[in-house]
Structure 1
Amino acid sequence: MSAERAEAPREKIAILGAGRMGRGIATVFAYAGHEVALIDFKARPAPDFDALARKAEAEVRETLALLAELGLFAPGPAVETIAGRVALVSRGDAAPALRAADIVFEGFPEIVALKREALAEASALVGPEAIIASTTSTILVDDLSPAVAGPGRFLNAHWLNPAFLVPLVEIAPGAGTDPAVVDRLCAVLERIGKVPVRCAPSPGYIVPRLQSVAMNEAARLVEEGVASVEEIEKAVRYGFGLRFSVLGLLEFIDWGGGDTLYHASRYLAGALGDERYAAPAIVRRNMEEGRIGLTAGRGFLDHEGRDVPAYRQERLAAFVDRLRAQGLAYPPRL
């Protein structure tokens, strides 16, 4: 049997809501070869739906054309082939699309009542094995799961904008989510080139919680006159962002030493008169237990048995690659 014949059928995707996030997710799955029903789950006059459909279809094509211009694939007929996998569906025609779907993503505005209403109606129409995922960026899964028929197949899947480029998808199951459903959705996302991460249902998940702190602190630096907007942006692009495109935040704590972070944080909290700069208890506890990072062989990560020189060289090589990409890797003057 040929590899093509042996390939399992691709899941059919339905997306509730034809807004910006829905269109982005539709583009991702169509790009990966899936048939997608982009459902306008709001009752509206036919002329209004037709206008919305034209706008959504145009955006999908524009996104694909942009990806081709950026070199991800050859421009030309492929744009129409991929875009043709996305069908705009009105509320009146939603039932058959939902019954055929293997995975449904809800992309309604961040209003609990609206999401619950849409999820209740849609979950009554889908098949019993279909996965249902909310793309909410703020609402916890168990604030929505009571509205879902079969809450064991329901979870949050938070995509980061732009969904058609950012690989990360944060997966947060609820108290009643079947673990097999989490595994299934993560496997599908990995097959289409995404990087799912699992987290507890906590406000802000992972990335929004981290970035909200960084963005607010950047705004405070401007407010306090520490540096100009231009200088702060350069500091982020060529320092903060460059560093953390290679090393994870917790990995960097281990790289530099948890004890260094503890003492630096203690000084900042005192100098700036604000306890928000103090290290959390886990940093102090790790330090007291000798878990300070690479030099101790253990920290947030387990470094026992690691070839530290080889590891450092690999990470530094990645830094050099980033510098080359930014045109900042200069030869020596001899």
Structure 2
Amino acid sequence: MSGRERIACLGAGRMGRGIAAVFAYAGHPVAIVDLKARPAEDFARLAAEALGEVRSTLGMLAELGLFDGAAVDQLAARVSVVPEAEAGAALSGAAVIFEGVPEVLDLKREALARASRLAGPEPIIASTTSTILVDDLSGAVEHPERFLNAHWLNPAYLVPLVELSPGKATDPAVTARLRALLEAVGKVPVTCAPSPGYIVPRIQALAMNEAARMVAEGVATAEELDKAIKYGFGFRFAVLGLLEFIDWGGGDILYYASHYLAKALDDQRHAPAAIIERNMADGRIGLKTGKGFLDYENLDIDAYRRERLKAFAAMLDQYGLRRPPVLDD
């Protein structure tokens, strides 16, 4: 076995299996720990199902061209499923424990309390909850300075982003260690304050609800709306972040457009955010003034624009939309 740090996934559900595949792919031994006592035949069935899904996931990644399928068996062999009776050894031997039990506060607190006792004080413990704030869970954890939330986006084995949310008691060194580990396995961690919805779920909830309203209002069919999202919204924001895009086009454009939409649609949910109003008053409107949400004062603006436009051009290849010019004979 490699000298890479051992990982434990608390719970044998979909998230635990996805995370196991990520770390096995990156060379880590992984234990999927079942904290529920169950008859031997039931555990054997669960273990076979979990290991089968991990292997299937790795096989699919090979089929997608990420690696040679001949290595699937080697990667899958790094994952084990551990019964409740052996949980202590697996958890205490792990560098990081990812909790992935169902999204029920009491269930998570119970699992975290028990796991933290069994693990001892050393392993980092991270909940993968998508809804529960870190400090609603941290009180159940012994040595809460080593606890934080780590929200993976499904499918965990493909989406790069992991949103880290430290709590009041979290040691900043723990956040830094987990961030470094995630980066080492090819993930892109971001850190955010404990806030409902983290970053991506909060933004996407607004966008998804607005798209649904537009279908209900007869603005466009679901098919046309999704085409617009893929080839416009998604195309842009695969290259530029939302705040970067505000600066790129100009915060003044968003300011005026938001006021117009709020009036035209008679709905204040389209009104500009208070920070947009403040930035407008302060002249922080983006590239044209050298400052906005980001600072551009010491940036080669022309080189920056070319780099971003080059990335847009590369997106045309991803979409299969690059076309040669039509030249006269």
Same topology, TM > 0.5: yes
In the other structure, the counterpart of 1:171 is 164
Deviations 1:39-60 (A, max 9, x none): 1222222111111111111111
Aligned partner of 1:58 among 52, 57, 63 = 52
In the other structure, the counterpart of 1:291 is 284
Deviations 1:171-223 (A, max 9, x none): 00001111110011001111111111000000000000011111111111111
Whole-angstrom distance in 2 between the partners of 1:181 and 1:305? 33
In the other structure, the counterpart of 2:102 is 109
In the other structure, the counterpart of 1:11 is 5
- Paired AA for residue 31 in structure 1: Y
Whole-angstrom distance in 2 between the partners of 1:177 and 1:159? 19
- Paired AA for residue 125 in structure 2: I
Aligned partner of 2:247 among 246, 254, 278 = 254
Would you say 1:30 and 2:20 are equivalent positions? no
- Paired AA for residue 41 in structure 1: L
C-alpha contact (below 8 Å) 1:100/1:127 kept by paired residues: no
C-alpha contact (below 8 Å) 1:172/1:199 kept by paired residues: yes
Aligned partner of 2:314 among 311, 317, 321 = 321
Whole-angstrom distance in 2 between the partners of 1:267 and 1:43? 60
Whole-angstrom distance in 1 between the partners of 2:3 and 2:241? 36
In the other structure, the counterpart of 1:197 is 190
Would you say 1:280 and 2:273 are equivalent positions? yes
- Paired AA for residue 322 in structure 2: A
Deviations 1:1-35 (A, max 9, x none): xxxxxxx9421111110000000000000111111
CA positional deviation for 1:141: 0.5
SS at match of 1:41: coil
- Paired AA for residue 182 in structure 1: T
Normalized against structure 2, the TM-score is what? 0.98
C-alpha contact (below 8 Å) 1:133/1:156 kept by paired residues: yes
Would you say 1:145 and 2:138 are equivalent positions? yes
C-alpha contact (below 8 Å) 2:150/2:165 kept by paired residues: yes
In the other structure, the counterpart of 1:123 is 116
SS at match of 1:66: helix
Whole-angstrom distance in 1 between the partners of 2:36 and 2:257? 53
CA positional deviation for 1:91: 1.1
CA positional deviation for 1:332: 1.1
Deviations 1:303-333 (A, max 9, x none): 0021111111111111110101211111111
C-alpha contact (below 8 Å) 1:258/1:293 kept by paired residues: yes
C-alpha contact (below 8 Å) 2:121/2:142 kept by paired residues: no
What is the count of residue pairs matched by the alignment?
326
- Paired AA for residue 5 in structure 2: E
Whole-angstrom distance in 1 between the partners of 2:123 and 2:54? 25
SS at match of 2:190: strand
1:187-266 residue pairs with structure 2 within 5 A? 187-266=180-259
Residue identity (%)? 67
Aligned partner of 2:39 among 32, 35, 45 = 45
In the other structure, the counterpart of 1:304 is 297
C-alpha contact (below 8 Å) 1:258/1:286 kept by paired residues: yes
Whole-angstrom distance in 2 between the partners of 1:44 and 1:272? 57
Deviations 1:132-190 (A, max 9, x none): 00000000000001100000100000000000001110000001111110011001111
Normalized against structure 1, the TM-score is what? 0.96
Whole-angstrom distance in 2 between the partners of 1:327 and 1:30? 32
CA positional deviation for 1:95: 1.1
CA positional deviation for 1:127: 3.1
Of residues 17-26 and 301-310 in structure 1, the stretch that sits farther from structure 2 once superposed is: 301-310
In the other structure, the counterpart of 1:100 is 93
SS at match of 2:131: coil
Could you list the runs of 4 or more consecutive aligned residues of structure 1 that deviate by over 6 angstroms after TM superposition?
A: none
Whole-angstrom distance in 2 between the partners of 1:325 and 1:282? 35
In the other structure, the counterpart of 1:184 is 177
C-alpha contact (below 8 Å) 1:262/1:279 kept by paired residues: yes
Unpaired stretches in structure 1, ≥5 consecutive residues: 1-7
